[in-house]
Amino acid sequence: MQELVETFGINWKLLLIQGINFGLLMVLLWYFLYRPVLNMIDARREKIASGVRNAEEASRKLSVAESEGSAIVGKASRDAEDIVATARVRAEEKEALLIKTAEERAASLLSEVKARAGEERRQVLASAEQDIARAAVLAAEKILKNS
């Protein structure tokens, strides 16, 4: 054995120091690198599992909501059809009355509108005359100031 050590030039002290250095390096790497990486992997694994659970729960809730929604839409559709049918019946009953009332009101409104239009036309013309007169006075003042 001694010959083997001397043949290969192995120094026991140097080999022991390198073994200690290697062990120290392994402990440091395990403590500062391996454990934090494992913790990150475990946290990520838990986060993914949580996401999968949440997705499954959301999928289940979505299917329940879709079934409830289709039931609600069906009921609302039937209710809407009933309401439309009732509204058609009432509309047919009141149609004649509304047409008669509308014709009477249209005639009275037409005469009223004609009277208002004539009055508004007179007011607009009077206002326009006043505006033109003011504009003329302002123009004259400007001309006089510039002279």
What is the total count of domains within the chain?
1
pTM over the 0.95 mark = no
Range of the domain at 33: 2-146
Q: Virtual CA dihedral for 47, 52, 57, 62, nearest 10 degrees?
A: 120
Give the torsion sign (CA, 33, 34, 35, 37): positive
Segment 62-120, tens digit of pLDDT: 999 999 999 999 999 999 999 999 999 988 888 888 888 988 999 999 999 999 999 99
Q: What is the pLDDT, as a whole number, of residue 97?
A: 86
Q: What is the pLDDT, as a whole number, of residue 144?
A: 87
